[in-house]
Amino acid sequence: MSSLLYVATVVLAAIRWEGYSSTSQTVSELIAIDAPTTPLVVPLFITYSLLVYAFGVGIWRSAGRKRALRFAAVGLVGKEVLGLVVTLFFPMHLRGVEGTLTDTMHAILTGVGVLFMLLAIGFAATAFGKRFRLYSIATILILLVFGILAGLDGSRLTANLPTPWMGVWERINIFGYMLWVVVLTIMLLRIQDTVAPDDSGGRSNFGSVGS
């Protein structure tokens, strides 16, 4: 639900902002100071974060002896805690407006959030079988490659220069991560259906699931 809400929000907001280009502009610009889409996007992003927090708590409670899943839960929630802080307190300015401390903090916290995201993917990759591990590694590689491409356009964004593909690079990263979350959810549900409840009140125990 969180992934679907996020993707729908980004697509809808881009449609409602006349002149906005999903190809060349970033998602952060949809919540920028004085952006016309901020009143729509911010409440939906808050809802998205709350859904991720609930998901993270669910993973933690279901992890059993799988410590890797607990670390993955921390990564998922940590990323969205920082994301919510950025959304509420450190939005960037629109292009052409001189940057301030809020722009600097936006960039720093977003970068730290990416580290939490990689932490979540990396630890979750060890909790299931080989196919999910390879898929997670491929996701990390995609995030690194397209993250670098988007980062190279960062200075051009700051200087208010054209960034013809920055939106594409960023959305490949975002939607790739959202897809990984969906696949992780499917894996968790499949394992939950096949593992008998333990003695702690019915929570699934992933400790005996093969890595």
Residue 203 has pLDDT above 70, yes or no: no
Instruction: State the first-to-last Cα distance of the chain, in angstroms, to the nearest integer.
Output: 27
Question: What is the model's pLDDT at position 63?
Answer: 83
- pLDDT score for 110: 94
pLDDT at 200 > cutoff 50: no
Residue 197: pLDDT over 60: no
What is the domain partition of the chain in residue ranges?
Answer: 2-194
What average pLDDT score do residues 175-200 get?
78
User: How remote is the C-alpha of 201 from its chain's centroid?
Assistant: 31
Residues 6+ apart with CB under 8 A from 117: 75, 79, 143, 177
- Give dist(CA 47, CA 168) in Å, integer: 25
Tens of pLDDT, residues 167-181: 999 999 999 999 999
- Residue percentage of the chain with pLDDT more than 90: 79
Q: What pLDDT was estimated at residue 158?
A: 87
> How confident is the model over 132-167, as pLDDT tens digits?
999 999 999 999 999 999 999 988 998 889 999 999
SS (H, E, C) the chain: CHHHHHHHHHHHHHHHCCCCCCCCCCHHHHHCECCCCHHHHHHHHHHHHHHHHHHHHHHHHHCCCCHHHHHHHHHHHHHHHHHHHHHHHCCCECCCCCCCHHHHHHHHHHHHHHHHHHHHHHHHHCCCCHHHHHHHHHHHHHHHHHHHHHHHCHHHHHCCCCCCCHHHHHHHHHHHHHHHHHHHHHHHHHHHHHCCECCCCCCECCCCCCC
* pLDDT per residue as tens digits for the range 17-52: 999 999 999 999 999 999 999 999 999 999 999 999
* Residue 163, pLDDT score: 95
Cβ-Cβ contacts under 8 Å for 105 (sequence gap 6 or more): 86, 89, 90
Q: Return the pLDDT at 62.
A: 85
Nearest to 207 by CA among 127, 133, 124, 119: 127
Cα within 13 Å of Cα(45), Cβ side: 23
Who's near 158: CB < 8 A, 6+ residues apart? 99, 103
Res. 206: pLDDT tops 50: no
CA distance 176 to 181: 9
Q: How confident is the model at residue 193 (pLDDT cuts 50, 70, 90)?
A: low
Spatial neighbors of 88 by CB under 8 A, at least 6 apart, are: 42, 46
**pLDDT of 210:** 39
pLDDT in tens, 65-116: 889 999 999 999 999 999 999 999 999 999 989 989 999 999 999 999 999 9
